[in-house]
Structure 1
Amino acid sequence: MSPTSAPARRRRRRIVAISATGILVVVAVALGLYVPAALAAPLPTAQLQLDVPTPAPAEPATLALPGVGTGAIALEGSDELLGESGQTGPVPIASVTKVITALVVLKAHPLVEGDDGPGITMTAADVQILEQTRAVDGSYELVNEGQVLSERQVLEIMLLKSANNYAETVTNWAFGSLAAYLEAARSFTAEHGLTDTTLVDASGLDPGSRSSTKDLMRIASLALADPVLAKIVSTAIDQVPVIGEIDNSNKLLGIDGIDGIKTGTTDEAGSCLLFSAEFTVGDETKSVVGVILGAESSQAARDAVQALLASTKASFTTLPLIRADTEVGTYTTAWGETARIVATSDSDAIVWSNDAVEVDASAADMVTAQAGVNVGTIRYTVDNTTEQVALELDGTLEDPGFWWRIGHPELVFG
């Protein structure tokens, strides 16, 4: 007989009743935690949109370069030519050679403003140099044995009167011989990267003394960088003891802002003029150097310089970059507010020809902000020069308030 089974017992489930008061307590606790968290949660950053207009380029330059011979022009101190025409390689440069001679002499025997340098006594050898120069129909100035002139005065006669005999005199004094001078000149040209420049004499009468437009732009800038030499080449009339008044052979001095540098003429080189000038564009002063080589006459060289200079000046343009209050972007918040980003000021740039303007802008991340706050910068770069314009908020980005904050749980839980 099988054992008798015990009767099964039913388990009763307990039902816990939560009163309305309990529910309210739970909700209150939950809200007490959530609401402060929602109010303290960081707001999302406003969406930034920047759209800065790029200025339209100016018209391309049309330079009046000579149809005969060679021409070039550049900003003083720049190795980049603004324009050139004709033979760009080495050509005879006539008495423009004397500018290099002066630079080499001044490197060996420097002068400062107000200092005329040591006295140089003219000898029988200098008188003989004068006679040799006259015999080959070179440009000259008289010299007397025993005459004493300062280094500066000898350089003035060489450059202003373009006296070939004084070029030989000053190099013999400075270096002892033509050969020693030419060795110093080779070192000078190598030091300054004048790879197209070769000198075989001190005056340029020999057509073997040659240079290129590229090198001559650098030579002109080197001359202007020396205060003593820059003053000499800009002098129209000077007084020298015994010799008297000497006139600069550069008849364009003082015209169209021209303030230097050197003329030269030989049968092989034609008429040459290495020049420097200043002119104003907008509120900026531009300093340029240029050269005309191989012109048919001195007048033709002068005409070519003036035409080239005028067309160069006309090819610099005051280009509007932006105007104050121009909208360049917006901030838009997640709660639907929008505020404009505007430029705070006008800005213009002086540009050469149709040079491109590079535009770069940045603005800070914003959440809430008052109107007028500075939010960023636009940077305009033209030919390695940068103009900056500040950006500000034209409008207010307000806090969205209590109900928006608690209605967006993603702020707390996102």
Structure 2
Amino acid sequence: MTITVVAVLVLVVGFLVAAAVVPFAPASARTTTYAAPTSTLPALSFPGYGATAVEATDFPESLRTSGDRKARSIASISKVVTALVVLDAKPLRQGQAGPTITFDAQMQGLYATYAAQNGEVAPMPAGLQLSQYQTMQVMLMKSANNYAGALALWAFGSMDAYQRAATTWLHAHGLDDTTIHEPTGLDAGNTSTATDLVDLGQLALADPVVKEIVGTAQATVPGAGQIENSNKLLGMDGVEGIKTGTLDQAGACLLFAATYERGGRTVTVVGAMLGGVDHDSLDVDVQRLLRSVADNFQVVTLTHAGQTFGTFSTPWRDEADAVSAKAAEVLVWGRTTVTAKTTLEQLTFGAAGDRVGRVRFTISDHDPVTVPLVLERGIEDPGVWWRWTNPFQGTAA
């Protein structure tokens, strides 16, 4: 009899010990349904003539066009190509004046040549010497054709050599719908599409020397005198460049860029408008277009801090949410699609704030964003009494 009692006691103790120490299986986990934020498709204010393209840099989905897509004469916008091609051959760092250019008789003769074509020119007195930077100022700001031609002769020795260098440079940068015959733009055969010009504008802004010059309102250059930027929009509505163009065959043209503060970051809009009647009306249309582009930047909230993305449930009816450890938002332009994929880790017990998973947001035309998930509240061991009264429930297999 005593042996039987002892045996029973041993079995009971063994049971209680086993029930108390057998590990639990991980809590069951379920994810919640994500309600994606919404955004709108912007309506832009395009003009009803010519050809226009506009794009927010770093937002490739924002590229929008209006009008025809054929190559059009680009007039003095050609000088942006000239500046970049010369800098490719004769690099210049920001803050440097560069080598000295002595304007010889051939260069000085360009004044009469271009003036006879009703082209913009600037004084170039005999014996004049200027730095490369100053020469580029007169070319880009005043749009002086004789300085553009002189710069091309200085850098390449002849107009033919310049044309070959420009063609090579255009192909190297994927501007296959752009054709440049000479450095000034007085030749109506210098043509491009509006979309190619958007790419050209982004290349111009990427060069600190060109960006600085096209963003300068006025300067005094020896020999040329005080020069003012031909871009009358400079400094208005965030406009920081880039280049005007005017020719009978081209109409009024503008390659433009503007910078705005949106969603805590700086965004740049680059565009080209070709075929306007005159620069006064074109400038109004550019301003209207830029405002419509700028107004369509939106900050999309992906998640708030503490937002629930899943729930852990235990056999002892304890629950704890997996919540986002921080808020996350992105700056987008136009209609945007957002999806979320939640991954929860295995969990048996945990303290509030423990990392328990992640949520990865996929945003159209944007890099993915990953946010860690943490326990909103702790999950604790239910204790020996629950284990004894609910033997082996929820234990690991």
**When the two structures are superposed, what TM-score results if normalisation uses the length of structure 2?**
0.93
SS at match of 1:143: coil
Quote the offset at 1:300 in angstroms: 2.0
Quote the offset at 1:33 in angstroms: 4.1
Measured in 2, the distance between the counterparts of 1:265 and 1:413 equals: 80
| Structure 2 partner of 1:16 | none
**Change in 2 beyond 3 A, CA 1:81/1:176:** farther
Q: Quick check: 1:308 aligned with 2:289?
A: yes
Measured in 2, the distance between the counterparts of 1:350 and 1:28 equals: 69
**Change in 2 beyond 3 A, CA 1:102/1:30:** same
| Structure 2 partner of 1:55 | 36
Measured in 2, the distance between the counterparts of 1:232 and 1:411 equals: 72
| Structure 1 partner of 2:334 | 353
Q: Quick check: 1:401 aligned with 2:373?
A: no
Q: Quick check: 1:244 aligned with 2:247?
A: no
Q: Structure 1 stretches (4+) deviating beyond 6 angstroms? A: 410-413
Per-residue deviation, residues 344-402 of structure 1 (Å, max 9, x unmatched)? 44433222112112323323221112233332333334432444444332233221332
| Structure 2 partner of 1:342 | 323
Query: Which amino acid letter does the alignment assign opposite residue 136 of structure 2?
Result: L
Identity of aligned residues (%): 39
Unaligned runs of 5+ in 1: 1-19
Query: Which amino acid letter does the alignment assign opposite residue 228 of structure 1?
Result: V
Contact kept? 1:72, 1:81, Cα under 8 Å: no
Measured in 2, the distance between the counterparts of 1:240 and 1:86 equals: 39
Measured in 2, the distance between the counterparts of 1:32 and 1:22 equals: 15
Query: Which amino acid letter does the alignment assign opposite residue 376 of structure 1?
Result: G
Q: Quick check: 1:326 aligned with 2:301?
A: no
Q: Quick check: 1:384 aligned with 2:369?
A: no
Measured in 1, the distance between the counterparts of 2:344 and 2:237 equals: 45
Moved more, 134-143 or 391-400: 391-400
Matches within 5 A, 1:95-110: 95-110=76-91
Matches within 5 A, 1:223-234: 223-234=204-215
| Structure 2 partner of 1:196 | 177
| Structure 2 partner of 1:44 | 25
Query: Which amino acid letter does the alignment assign opposite residue 393 of structure 1?
Result: L
Quote the offset at 1:77 in angstroms: 5.6
Quote the offset at 1:83 in angstroms: 1.3
Query: Which amino acid letter does the alignment assign opposite residue 311 of structure 1?
Result: S
Moved more, 285-294 or 384-393: 384-393
Measured in 2, the distance between the counterparts of 1:362 and 1:374 equals: 11
Per-residue deviation, residues 146-202 of structure 1 (Å, max 9, x unmatched)? 211111111111111111121111111100111111111111111111111111111
Contact kept? 1:79, 1:217, Cα under 8 Å: no
Per-residue deviation, residues 31-65 of structure 1 (Å, max 9, x unmatched)? 44444333332201111111152333122111111
Measured in 1, the distance between the counterparts of 2:394 and 2:237 equals: 70
Q: Quick check: 1:132 aligned with 2:113?
A: yes
| Structure 1 partner of 2:253 | 272
Contact kept? 1:37, 1:412, Cα under 8 Å: no
| Structure 2 partner of 1:209 | 190
**Change in 2 beyond 3 A, CA 1:378/1:78:** closer
Residue 65 of structure 2: which of 52, 76, 84 is its match? Answer: 84
Contact kept? 1:321, 1:347, Cα under 8 Å: yes
RMSD of aligned Cα (Å): 2.1
Unaligned runs of 5+ in 2: none
Query: Which amino acid letter does the alignment assign opposite residue 258 of structure 1?
Result: V
**When the two structures are superposed, what TM-score results if normalisation uses the length of structure 1?**
0.89
Contact kept? 2:72, 2:193, Cα under 8 Å: yes
Residue 343 of structure 2: which of 336, 347, 362 is its match? Answer: 362
Which protein is bigger by CA-based radius of gyration? 1
